């Protein structure tokens, strides 16, 4: 699929993750193949959110699977769907060999989803391409989804011991869940009012550190208001979501 086969890690889709609800998404899918798959999700009660079209014309759905967000990208011609799950786990650099072996075991056990360890950010990604027949797009996409969901569940058992932090679903914003701003150390840059994500994807976490559980994933180009600084982390907020993001992942907005 254009934009995701070979360069899937550098997604051009600028979406913000939020709490997914079980009801149908307000945005009506544009493609017949997407609508057919959505009907299957609704029938099964699977929570999802329609994300619209990206620059290449592919339509995206975000599906909540336990602790992992699964994305489904439908081609404009309705002939193909690509399932992608970023950040199945994050791992420490010293565990890379063990993670690679675990990914190889998972790949050997399945002729569908493929697991890949990315040494650029030490995370594992899973991906599955499915060809959609014109007369059975919904059911074939559903079979691909079930295959992907099953392997991701197995991957959690295989990879969880190697994860540096357990992911958490995005909590509903409450007064007690908002991180408290701290004073910026003298060697930190002046606090900007807003920042923009400058890398392909960035984790927003519950605390200032890579071992803190993550709350949601921010995409390249997404902007946030800055309400404080903690060490080398900005405390950011947007649309009721608040958390910590590394200064290395963002650029201040003048």
Whether the predicted pLDDT of 219 surpasses 80:
yes
Q: How far apart are CA 192 and CA 61, in angstroms?
A: 33
What architecture does CATH give domain 32-162? 2-Layer Sandwich (3.30)
pLDDT digits (tens, 9 = 90+) for 159-183: 988 988 644 444 444 433 445 444 4
The predicted pLDDT at position 194 comes to 92
Helix/strand/coil for 119: coil
pLDDT band at 140 (very low <50, low <70, confident <90, very high): very high
Question: Once rounded to an integer, what is the mean pLDDT over residues 144-171?
Answer: 78
Which of 221, 202, 201, 214 is CA-nearest to residue 243? 214
The class (CATH top level) of 168-254 is mainly beta
The predicted pLDDT at position 250 comes to 92
The predicted pLDDT at position 20 comes to 34
The predicted pLDDT at position 3 comes to 43
Parallel, antiparallel, or unpaired: how do β-strands 68-74 and 250-252 relate? Answer: unpaired
pLDDT digits (tens, 9 = 90+) for 10-30: 332 333 333 333 333 346 788
Q: How far apart are CA 229 and CA 167, in angstroms?
A: 23
Whether the predicted pLDDT of 4 surpasses 70:
no
**Claim: this prediction has a pTM higher than 0.85:** no
User: Who contacts 34 (Cβ-Cβ below 8 Å, separation ≥6)?
Assistant: 50, 59, 61, 74
- The DSSP secondary-structure symbol of 160 reads G
Instruction: Delimit the domains of the chain by residue range.
Output: 32-162, 168-254
Whether the predicted pLDDT of 126 surpasses 50:
yes
Q: How far apart are CA 31 and CA 227, in angstroms?
A: 40
pLDDT digits (tens, 9 = 90+) for 78-98: 899 999 988 888 888 899 999
């Amino acid at each position: 699929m254009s934009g995701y086969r070979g360069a899937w890690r550098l997604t051009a889709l600028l979406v913000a993750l939020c709490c997914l609800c079980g009801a149908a998404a307000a945005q009506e899918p544009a493609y017949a193949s997407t609508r057919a798959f959505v009907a299957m999700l609704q029938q099964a009660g699977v929570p999802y959110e329609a994300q619209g079209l990206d620059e290449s014309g592919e339509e995206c759905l975000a599906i909540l699977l336990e602790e992992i967000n699964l994305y489904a990208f439908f081609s404009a011609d309705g002939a193909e769907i690509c399932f992608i799950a970023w950040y199945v786990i994050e791992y420490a650099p010293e565990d890379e060999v063990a993670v690679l072996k675990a990914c190889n075991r998972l790949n050997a056990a399945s002729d569908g989803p493929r697991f890949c360890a990315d040494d650029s950010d030490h995370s594992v990604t899973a991906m599955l391409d499915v060809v959609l027949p014109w007369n059975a797009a919904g059911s074939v996409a559903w079979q691909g989804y079930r295959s992907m969901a099953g392997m991701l569940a197995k991957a959690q058992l295989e990879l969880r011991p190697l994860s540096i932090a357990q992911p958490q679903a995005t909590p509903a914003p409450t007064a007690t869940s908002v991180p408290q701003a701290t004073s910026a150390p003298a060697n930190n840059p002046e606090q900007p009012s807003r920042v923009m994500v400058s890398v392909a994807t960035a984790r927003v976490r519950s605390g200032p550190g890579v071992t803190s559980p993550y709350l949601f994933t921010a995409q390249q180009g997404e902007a946030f208001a800055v309400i404080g600084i903690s060490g080398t982390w900005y405390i950011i907020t947007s649309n009721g979501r608040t958390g910590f993001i590394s200064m290395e992942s963002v650029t201040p907005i003048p």
